[in-house]
Amino acid sequence: MGLRQLEKMRFHAFGYKRLGLVAAGLAVVALGGLLLASYLIPADAVRDAIKAEIREATGFETIIAGPISVSLFPSSSITFGAVQLRGDGQDPALYSERLIARLRLIPLIMGRIEAADITLVEPRLDLVTDARGNSNWSSLADKLATALKPRAAGGQRVVSFSEIRITKGTLVVRDDAQGLLETLSDIDGALAWPAISKTFGATARFLWRLETFEASLTLNDLLAALLGERSGVKLRLAGKPFKFAFDGALSHKPAMKLEGAVAADGPSLREALAWAGRPALPGTSGFGPFALKAQTNLVGHQVSLSPMNVELDGNSAEGVLAFALERRPRVQGTLAAETIDFTPYTSAAQALRSREKDWSRVPLDLEALDGLDLDVRLSAGRVLIGNARLGRTAAAATLQGGRLTLTVGESLAFGGVLKGAVGVARTANGAELKSELQFANVDVESSFTELFGIRRLEGKGSLALALSATGESMMTLTRNLNGSVSLAAEKGAMNGLNVEQLLRRLERRPLSGGGDFRSGRTPYEKLTIKLKIVQGTAAVEDVNLEGPAVRLAINGSANIPARDLDLKGVASLTSSASGTGFELPFVVQGPWDDPIMLPDPQILIRRSGAAAPLLDAVRDRNTRDAVRSAIEQLARPPDAGAAPVARPNVR
């Protein structure tokens, strides 16, 4: 290594050493300046300076009721206790347990007090709107706008904080006109206070109804927003119940106006509504994942979403919705979808039966019908409800005063056309149900299976239902059920009953027993049924079946709460081997989805030449009962088991 290189290294080392000495000297000077400033600048002067900066930056007066402390290390700051921000003659706009102002270093060394940023510890902010629509922040917003105007006009000095931080804050929003009270707690956030730029930004994390949310807000022009003029706005809100985003513009003169794109989604609408304090939705399934995208326009308390796309449980629809954000919200609109699947919501209907053979006794909960008015038109190319497949459907749902009505203008259902209405209302005694439905030219088997759980009829026909009931549970509703049911069908069959086979067997051998005839079917050309329902009992006014080989006429009743039948009828062959015709009275008893049909034993014995004298020989009551029991055993089908048996009198 040469002499010149050694000299160069000594020079650089000396230079670095000199720079280090200079830096150390500056640090000593700064420290000395801070120490000197702490002694030369009185605490009252620091307090007044910070108060003046807050007033100039925000327009709010600062009242300090607690102690004041100054800290120089590790950073220069001053802490005030029990701080209030208020306008002239106003209640406190904001109260904070502590206000910490971090001071700018260079101005402090030079003997000036300037706040670099402010931290509010455990602040509380109340936003109150009275019943007449007056807000406690109206005048405060005007003062804030006045404080910001010099910046827009290019004032001499811009008073600004690089940031205002909030720790463990609380925000209370109360609107007496709407009956609204919301509290956000444990707020940790930051505000980017505008200086030369017009933009205002805020981010926060807080607790809202026991759920943690993160939010961000950006205003393109804070001054314009405070003055009620148009300003761009972006809002993001994300938590477990839902996520929400808005990107548009707002103004509030002469009235609040908001327009732009809105999007919202969440994993469960049922849980989101429960979080919002809404009444529980019926059933245990459905109302899961949801999403909404729309162009929104809010003017005052009126909100419109148009166009709008909404998704729920895999269903997707487009249309227009309008909301009236009043004490009792109102929703109106029109929705259209290619396919709507109501299957996820059938658990509410299935819950109406506690067991396979019984109705539920659990009290009906219709609280969800309160607190909202609804008028929505719905159209779909296809509707799925369990195993039912409906075609093109136009319907309307209205909810007013706790009464929900679903009106079907027209639906291609069960191979025919469905029209009518179904309504449910919440009453002091539970629920009130009403329905008037007309099924024209429908498939009888599929409609009866879906509506009544009866799988015994085939054919095409028209069905009319007019029913009403009141009660606190589904069991009570069935006991109080009133109305009428009528069916006119043709070219079908009764499944599980081979009446012709039974009649021809008994015509030849009256005492041969019923045999196993329940695996067959009885074709018919025409079938009419008319029922009148009073207090849960359906009286048969007219049941007639006319087939190629047999005819049936039935009367009696059906117990709807017990779901069983007690019918009597007469079956006859249209062509008989004897040439004189063969008629046989019979009874139908048992559950309506699996009844037992038994012929009248007296008729069978009278047709038997050998056994007929027994009827005249039996006079004593005890003997008559014993013989009657034996007769019934003869007439009972082999697989009837312990099913209920008709007991006609033997005389």
Residue 351: pLDDT band with limits 50, 70, 90? very low
List the beta bridge partners of residue 325: none
pLDDT for the residue numbered 28: 45
For residue 167, pLDDT over 60 is answered with: yes
pLDDT for the residue numbered 640: 45
Q: Measuring CA to CA, which residue among 534, 498, 504, 533 is closest to residue 519? A: 498
Q: Residue 572, exposed/middle/buried by CB under 10 A (0-12, 13-18, 19+)?
A: middle
Question: Per-domain residue ranges for the chain?
Answer: 26-197, 481-635
Note whether 586 and 599 are within 8 A (CB): yes
In angstroms and rounded to an integer, the radius of gyration of the C-alpha atoms of the chain is 42
pLDDT, tens digit, 9 for 90 and up, residues 245-298: 999 999 988 888 999 999 999 999 999 999 998 877 776 788 999 999 999 999
Average pLDDT score over residue span 167-188: 91
Q: Measuring CA to CA, which residue among 58, 53, 62 is closest to residue 103? A: 53
For residue 313, pLDDT over 70 is answered with: yes
pLDDT, tens digit, 9 for 90 and up, residues 286-301: 899 999 999 999 998 8
pLDDT, tens digit, 9 for 90 and up, residues 562-581: 888 899 988 888 775 555 56
44 φ, ψ (degrees, to nearest 5): -65, -35
pLDDT, tens digit, 9 for 90 and up, residues 386-408: 778 899 999 999 999 889 999 99
Structure tokens at 296: 């929104």
Structure tokens at 263: 């999007």
Length of the chain: 651
Q: Residue 476, exposed/middle/buried by CB under 10 A (0-12, 13-18, 19+)?
A: buried
Average pLDDT score over residue span 304-320: 95
Within 153-307, residue ranges assigned H as helices are 222-226, 269-275
The percent of residues in the chain predicted with pLDDT above 70, rounded, is 74
CA 418, CA 408: separation in Å to the nearest integer?
7
Which of the two residues, 87 and 327, has the higher pLDDT score? 327
Which range has the worst mean pLDDT, 58-62, 441-445, 599-603? 599-603
Pairing mode, strands 68-71 and 61-64 = unpaired
Residue 130: pLDDT band with limits 50, 70, 90? confident
Note whether 531 and 560 are within 8 A (CB): no
Note whether 42 and 64 are within 8 A (CB): no
Note whether 369 and 326 are within 8 A (CB): no
Which of the two residues, 461 and 151, has the higher pLDDT score? 461
The amino acid sitting at 125 is L
Chain position carrying tokens 């000197």: 36
409 φ, ψ (degrees, to nearest 5): -65, -45
Chain position carrying tokens 């004490």: 327
Q: Residue 634, exposed/middle/buried by CB under 10 A (0-12, 13-18, 19+)?
A: middle
pLDDT for the residue numbered 534: 96
pLDDT, tens digit, 9 for 90 and up, residues 364-385: 878 878 878 899 999 999 998 8
Q: How many other C-beta atoms are found inside a 10 Å radius of the C-beta of residue 494? A: 21
Chain position carrying tokens 């396919």: 339
CA distances from 454 to 310, 351, 390 (A): 37, 19, 19
Residue 626: pLDDT band with limits 50, 70, 90? low
The percent of residues in the chain predicted with pLDDT above 90, rounded, is 38
pLDDT, tens digit, 9 for 90 and up, residues 30-71: 444 444 445 445 667 777 887 888 777 777 788 888 888 877
Which of the two residues, 3 and 438, has the higher pLDDT score? 438
For residue 511, pLDDT over 70 is answered with: no
pLDDT, tens digit, 9 for 90 and up, residues 453-492: 677 788 999 999 999 999 998 899 999 999 999 999 999 9
